[in-house]
């Protein structure tokens, strides 16, 4: 484990960063300065400037620093357990804030806020994670949860568990989401088949699968609905149901 940073040579620099944030907001600070202030929460009497610079150089972006696992953060010179705790804690606070912010809001008018939460919750994970967002009859968000981890396909996403969870919350509609650790946002053939399977099974229970979102790298998501794929899925399922009688 790396030792903590050297004693801070001057409190003036840090106070100037705080003053600038309080006066102008987060956009007035560079990513390095944001990381530096985060690290000082863990070691308030230490100079964290160099560790912040090295962290950004190593992980390239602020989100990648926040998403980095402890073992990777430990490799940054001068970053110790208290600094890592500060990063993980602020990441956890942000996820809880974004999750609670969307609850009871109408999905149609708040879809960007839902996407922001999903991006923050799923981007940068090393394994594929499948999530569900449960909606009531007016499309207000009831709840959200992770249902499975690992490779996302029909074999690991158990439709029975999804339907059980949705019915337990009296959900009338669903939005599902998963991440691609590779960073790609393009849906695979398995993603499309999974969507068809879940849409068909949900339709038998009078639950409307509104969308399937894929989170990769960056600040945007791939939406099956926005790209016309949900309409194709609905048509396929309607034809299959008609064939089944």
Per-residue pLDDT tens for 108-124?
Answer: 999 999 999 999 999 88
Asked whether 157 and 148 are in contact (CB, 8 A), the reply is: yes
Q: Is the pTM of this model over 0.85?
A: no
Region 84-99: what's the mean pLDDT? 93
Contact call for residues 21 and 36 (beta carbons, < 8 A): no
Q: At what angle do helices 31-42 and 49-59 cross, to 10 degrees?
A: 120
- Where is pLDDT greater, at 13 or 136? 136
Q: What pLDDT, on a 0 to 100 scale, did the predictor assign at position 1?
A: 47
Report, as an integer, the average pLDDT of 52-81.
93
> Any idea which fold 106-244 has?
Cytidine Deaminase; domain 2 (3.40.140)
Tokens (6 digits) for 155: 């074999």
For 138-180, the pLDDT digits (tens) are: 999 999 999 988 765 544 677 889 999 999 999 999 999 999 9
All CATH 3.40.140.10 domain ranges of the chain, comma separated, are 106-244
Q: Please state the φ and ψ torsions of residue 212, each to the nearest 5 degrees.
A: -130, 120
In the chain, % of residues over pLDDT 70: 93
Cα–Cα dist 4/2, whole Å: 7
Q: How far is CA 228 from CA 55, 175, 179, 212, 224, in A?
A: 40, 15, 20, 11, 6
The reported pLDDT for the residue numbered 245 is 66
The pLDDT > 90 percentage for the chain reads: 71
Q: Mean pLDDT score of the chain, rounded to an integer?
A: 89
> What stretch of H or E contains 179?
strand 173-179
Q: What is the pLDDT of residues 40-56, one digit of tens each?
A: 998 888 889 999 999 99
**How many angstroms separate the CA atoms of 191 and 157, rounded?**
11
Residue 6 pLDDT greater than 70, yes or no: no
What average pLDDT does this structure show over 78-98?
93
pLDDT of the residue at 133: 97
d(CA 41, CA 64): 19
What is the rounded distance in angstroms from the CA atom of residue 89 to the CA atom of residue 156? 30
Residue 7: pLDDT over 60: no
Residues forming beta bridges with residue 222, ordered by sequence position: 214
Average pLDDT score over residue span 1-10? 51
Q: What is the pLDDT at residue 173?
A: 97
Q: Are strands 208-215 and 173-179 parallel, antiparallel or unpaired?
A: parallel
């Amino acid at each position: 484990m790396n030792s903590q940073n050297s004693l801070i040579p001057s409190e003036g620099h840090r106070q100037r960063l705080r003053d600038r944030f309080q006066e102008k907001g987060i956009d007035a600070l560079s990513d390095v300065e944001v990381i530096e202030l985060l690290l000082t929460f863990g070691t308030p009497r230490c100079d964290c400037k160099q560790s912040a610079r090295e962290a950004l150089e190593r992980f390239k972006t602020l989100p990648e620093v926040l998403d980095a696992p402890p073992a990777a953060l430990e490799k940054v010179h001068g970053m110790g357990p208290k600094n890592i705790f500060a990063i993980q804690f602020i990441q956890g606070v942000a996820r809880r804030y974004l999750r609670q912010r969307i609850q009871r809001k109408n999905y149609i008018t708040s879809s960007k806020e839902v996407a922001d939460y999903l991006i923050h919750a799923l981007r940068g994970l090393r394994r594929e994670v499948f999530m569900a967002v449960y909606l009531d009859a007016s499309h207000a968000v009831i709840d959200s949860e992770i249902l499975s981890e690992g490779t996302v396909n029909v074999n690991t996403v158990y439709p029975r568990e999804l339907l059980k969870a949705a019915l337990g919350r009296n959900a009338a509609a669903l939005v599902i989401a998963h991440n691609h650790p590779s960073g790609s946002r393009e849906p695979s053939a398995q993603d499309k088949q999974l969507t068809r399977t879940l849409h068909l099974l949900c339709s038998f229970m009078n639950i409307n699968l509104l969308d399937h979102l894929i989170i990769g790298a960056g600040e945007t998501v791939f939406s099956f609905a926005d790209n016309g794929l949900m309409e194709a899925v609905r048509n396929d399922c309607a034809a299959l149901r008609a064939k089944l009688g």
